[in-house]
Amino acid sequence: MAVQYSLFFIQRFKGKVLFNVPMSEYTSIKIGGPADVMAFPQDEGDLKDILAFAEAKSFPFYILGGGTNLLVRDGGIRSIVINMSEGFKDIVWEDETNASVGAGVRLSELLFQCRERGLTGFEFASGIPGTIGGAVMMNAGAYGGEMKDIVEGVEVIGKKGVKNFIPKKDLAFAYRKAEVPKGAAVTRAHMKFEKSTPDAVKEKIRDLKERRKTTAHITFPNAGSVFRNPENKSAGRLIEEAGLKGERSGDAQISEVHANYIVNLGAAKAKDVLSLMALIRDRVYSQKGVVLEPEIKVIGEDQ
């Protein structure tokens, strides 16, 4: 299969292509076995070609954004990983409050531009890592704000490399997810903000940074919140009340700062993280009667 991949990429692909890539280098928790192929499309033409090629050859593929909220198993990924981080980085301001934002744009970059323009509605993204494409797919949010509040629709490239626009109503945003057709890659998000002032936006960002002080002190690599908050409950508080702060499996540890984070102390494996996740679910259910649902996505094969 690698030979077939190679022939295609040499002939058609303009972007960078890597083979046998350690996913630990492309995830925020610094864990993950090798991916067979990682391709970095530079533009829509690259992306259309690779999606059409994968469909024609029945090759599996995975769309990667910033690698946050993601755990790759130790056996790695037997597919093409399409890394959107080196293209799709432009922000086009259509008027004072509306922007078309490339999927590879970092949340921090868009927040900076909103702050400078005095636009409100995106302050919740302060401190959230990752890219716009991944944030849309996850309906990322915090402190009462979510991507669904500002996204008007998305552009995608799907089966056979066909480009399409999906309006907000068809994205069916829900808690930490959006309905995007299987096999489609988000290339741009159309977003609408509200007019404010730079000083007011800066003040909101400062307030959120104060509220985030606990997680800001987590210095080890991590994948963000591990479990979703149950209705009217805090997953972190439930885990802490179960006495699990600081528990370890290998070099993975339930953070001593915030219990809903699992950190990599240096040489953690995916199996260590999964072991801690199982411990958390069992202990919280036995003590609290609450079933915690994962927020991070787990992909790949066991070693």
CA atoms of 27 and 32, how far apart (whole Å): 8
**Same domain, residue pair 223 and 251:** yes
The whole-number pLDDT of residue 7 equals 47
Query: Same domain, yes or no, for 173 and 250?
Result: no
287-298 pLDDT tens trace: 999 999 999 999
- 106 and 24 together in one domain: no
Final residue in a domain of this structure, among 23, 55, 86: 86
Question: Is residue 193 located within the same domain as residue 223?
Answer: no
Average pLDDT estimate for 271-300: 97
Catalytic residue among 146, 155, 247, 295: 295
Choose among 152, 192, 157: nearest CA to 53. 157
Domain final residue pick, 211, 231, 251 = 211
Residue 184 has pLDDT above 70, yes or no: yes
User: Residue 201 has what pLDDT?
Assistant: 96
- Among residues 24, 85, 225, 255, the one annotated as catalytic is 225
The structural domain count of the chain equals 3
pLDDT-based confidence at residue 3 (cuts at 50, 70, 90): very low
Residue 110: its pLDDT value, please?
Answer: 97
Which carries the bigger pLDDT value, residue 15 or residue 96?
A: 96
Domain shared by 201 and 110, yes or no: yes
Would you place residue 114 in the very low, low, confident or very high pLDDT band (cuts 50, 70, 90)? very high
**Annotation marks residue 146 as catalytic:** no
Q: What does the pLDDT read at residue 13?
A: 74
46 and 95 both lie in a single domain: no
- Tell whether the model's pLDDT for residue 73 goes beyond 70: yes
Poorest-pLDDT segment among 77-91, 133-147, 209-223, 256-270: 209-223
Lowest-confidence range among 50-54, 165-169, 272-276? Answer: 50-54
Q: Tell me the residue range of the domain where 26 lies.
A: 2-86
Q: pLDDT, tens digit, for every residue of 33-45?
A: 999 999 999 999 8
Specify the 3-state DSSP secondary structure of 283: helix
Residues 6+ apart with CB under 8 A from 10: none
**Above 50 in pLDDT, residue 125?**
yes
Residues ≥6 apart with Cβ < 8 Å to 268: 29, 30, 31, 250, 251, 252
Active-site residue, from 73, 106, 115, 176: 176
Q: How confident is the model at residue 11 (pLDDT cuts 50, 70, 90)?
A: low
Q: What confidence category does residue 149 fall into, taking pLDDT thresholds of 50, 70 and 90?
A: very high
Prediction pTM value: 0.88
Residue 247's CATH number? 3.90.78.10
Domain final residue pick, 211, 234, 267: 211
Whether 201 and 288 share a structural domain = no
295 is catalytic: yes
Query: Residue 188 catalytic?
Result: no
Diameter over CA atoms, the chain: 58
CATH value at residue 134? 3.30.465.10
Residue 103 has pLDDT above 90, yes or no: yes
The more confidently predicted of residues 62 and 212 is 62
User: So what's the pLDDT on residue 210?
Assistant: 82
Over the chain, what is the mean pLDDT?
A: 91
Cα 101 to Cα 113: distance, rounded to the nearest angstrom? 11
Confidence bin at 5 (pLDDT 50/70/90): low
% of the chain exceeding 90 in pLDDT: 72
